[in-house]
């Protein structure tokens, strides 16, 4: 019997296995990942930003873990020689309504003990000559890194410490008894498939886009407490090489406080480029990154979930606008030109999309904070979208604290 099985080889699952082995050298730890490589979904399809934690409600898990996680991410990258850069971020207000929201955001940032500097429109233009706005907030502690590289380094550390990272292994059942947990999985190698059954004293599930389905296997997703993972495609473009000097810091719009998305922004990438995005378009396939991807099982799941209809009623106008701009580059460009008016349609070059796993409760609540549920011998990370990559190390510590096995 193993000590711990971690389901999910994204950055949170890998950081959790890494933390277990740090605390308990020699522990028998298995990471089961259904893809052929680690970090293939949210951990590998994101903007690469090391977030400071400016947006999150003071005292929330996101606020606590993001601030600490940003420092820990930098430390780990420095230790493993993974490239990172402290770029800073400018949140830019372009309307009177956004100026008021920016003032509220400044108060929140300071409550979260972050170093921020308000800027006038003139001061913004002096700092970023290609960006216009009525006001801005300079968030000093924002940066960028290579999160897929972080995932690969964590997997290597786990193996070096005696753990096992088993890819191409999809979990199909979790059965818990008072003394152990049995995990059934299907392993695929080339064209061969076979069933594996493993037992452990504890199981920790960090399943991202499949979190609701894995939680249901442990009886943690039913009745009034039910939640549904709804996929939102985050579509990006990349600016041409000739625009690489367009910005110095990352440029963000002021977000809508009612939605868990940050708006279309300009992000420097660790390879020297600049991406534009993401938007937030309802996805019709949890793991379909190509535009137009459709998975009938995924669509049926959220179509049958009452909370999804509550979300649709509350945000249908926003949803229609996002869908329109997804297919119409000109609409997407208009969002960026609000603060960077010199960009043209020809500047928007293709870039792979990402998919955000957003938990929705039965009453239609979009879960804003990290959501973690547990049984006696399992812990499930049910909602861990951005800034989970930044926050992975403190999330892992919190999970391992929760996962102390009964005597």
Indicate which CATH number applies to the domain containing 392: 3.50.50.60
Identify the pLDDT of residue 407. Answer: 38
SS3 347: helix
Chain centroid to Cα 162, Å, comes to 28
| Alpha-helical segments (H) within 87-160 | 96-111, 121-127, 147-160
Report long-range pairs for 18-25 (Cβ below 8 Å, ≥24 apart).
18/154, 18/157, 18/158, 18/161, 18/396, 19/393, 19/396, 19/397, 19/399, 19/400, 20/400, 21/157, 21/158, 21/161, 21/162, 21/163, 22/161, 23/400, 25/161, 25/162
Contact 233, 332 (CB under 8 A): no
For 201, phi then psi, to 5°, come to -75, -30
- Identify which of 399, 385, 393 has the alpha carbon closest to the alpha carbon of residue 71: 393
Cα–Cα–Cα angle for 218, 220, 224, nearest 5°? Answer: 155
Identify the pLDDT of residue 405. Answer: 45
CB atoms within 10 A of CB 223: 6
Taking the chain (407 residues) in runs of 10, the rounded mean pLDDT of each run is: 97 98 97 97 93 93 95 98 97 96 95 96 97 98 97 98 98 96 94 93 97 95 90 94 96 84 90 92 93 94 93 81 78 92 96 94 93 95 95 97 67
Identify the pLDDT of residue 60. Answer: 94
Contact 278, 158 (CB under 8 A): no
C-alpha dist (Å) from residue 261 to 181, 192, 253, 266, 366:
36, 41, 11, 15, 11
Dist CA 280 CA 253 (whole Å): 14
Identify the pLDDT of residue 152. Answer: 98
Is 407 within the bounds of a domain?
no
- Identify which of 113, 120, 211 has the alpha carbon closest to the alpha carbon of residue 171: 211
Dist CA 362 CA 52 (whole Å): 31
Identify the pLDDT of residue 260. Answer: 66
188 burial level (CB within 10 Å; 0-12, 13-18, 19+): middle
Identify the pLDDT of residue 103. Answer: 96
State if pTM tops 0.85: yes
Identify the pLDDT of residue 382. Answer: 97
Is 193 within the bounds of a domain?
yes
Residue 392 sits in which domain range?
2-402
Dist CA 63 CA 55 (whole Å): 8
Is 254 within the bounds of a domain?
yes
Sequence-ordered list of residues with C-beta below 8 angstroms from that of 70, at least 6 positions apart, any chain: 50, 51, 52, 53, 141, 143, 390
Dist CA 40 CA 28 (whole Å): 24
Which residues are bridge partners to 193 per DSSP?
188
| Number of folded domains that form the chain | 1
Dist CA 323 CA 281 (whole Å): 6
Q: Locate tokens 């039965």: which residue?
A: 362
């Amino acid at each position: 019997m193993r000590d711990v099985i971690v389901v999910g080889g994204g950055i949170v699952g890998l950081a959790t296995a890494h933390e277990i082995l740090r605390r308990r050298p020699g522990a028998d730890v298995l990471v089961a990942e259904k893809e052929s490589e680690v970090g293939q979904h949210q951990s590998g399809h994101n903007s690469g930003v090391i977030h400071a934690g400016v947006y999150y409600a003071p005292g929330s898990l996101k606020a606590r873990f993001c601030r600490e996680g940003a420092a820990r991410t930098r430390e780990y990258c420095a230790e493993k020689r993974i490239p990172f850069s402290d770029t800073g971020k400018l949140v830019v207000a372009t309307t009177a309504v956004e100026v008021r929201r920016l003032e509220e955001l400044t108060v929140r940032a300071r409550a979260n003990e972050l170093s921020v500097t308000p800027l006038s429109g003139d001061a913004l233009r002096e700092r970023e000559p290609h960006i216009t706005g009525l006001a801005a907030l300079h968030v000093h502690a924002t940066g960028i890194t290579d999160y897929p590289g972080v995932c690969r380094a964590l997997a290597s550390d786990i193996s070096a410490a005696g753990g096992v990272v088993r890819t191409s292994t999809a979990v199909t059942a979790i059965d818990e008894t008072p003394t152990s947990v049995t995990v059934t999985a299907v392993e695929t190698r080339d064209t061969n498939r076979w069933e594996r059954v493993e037992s452990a004293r504890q199981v920790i599930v960090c399943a991202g886009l499949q979190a609701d389905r894995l939680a249901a296997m442990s009886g943690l997703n039913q009745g009034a407490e039910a939640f549904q993972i709804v996929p939102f495609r985050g579509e990006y473009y990349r600016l041409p090489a000739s625009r690489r000097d367009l910005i110095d810091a990352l440029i963000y719009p002021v977000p809508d406080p009612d939605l868990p998305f940050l708006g279309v922004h300009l992000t420097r990438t660790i390879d020297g480029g600049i991406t534009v995005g993401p938007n937030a378009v309802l996805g019709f396939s949890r793991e379909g990154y190509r535009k137009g991807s459709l998975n009938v099982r995924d669509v049926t799941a959220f179509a049958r979930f009452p909370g999804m209809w509550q979300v649709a009623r509350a945000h249908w106008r926003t949803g229609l606008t996002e869908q329109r701009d997804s297919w119409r580059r000109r609409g997407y460009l208009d969002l960026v030109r609000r603060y960077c008016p010199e960009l043209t349609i020809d500047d928007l070059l293709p870039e792979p999309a990402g998919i955000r796993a957003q938990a929705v409760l039965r009453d239609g609540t979009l879960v804003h904070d990290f959501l973690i549920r547990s049984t006696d011998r399992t812990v499930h990370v049910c909602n861990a979208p951005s800034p989970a990559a930044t926050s992975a190390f403190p999330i892992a510590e919190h999970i391992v604290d929760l996962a102390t096995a009964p005597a």
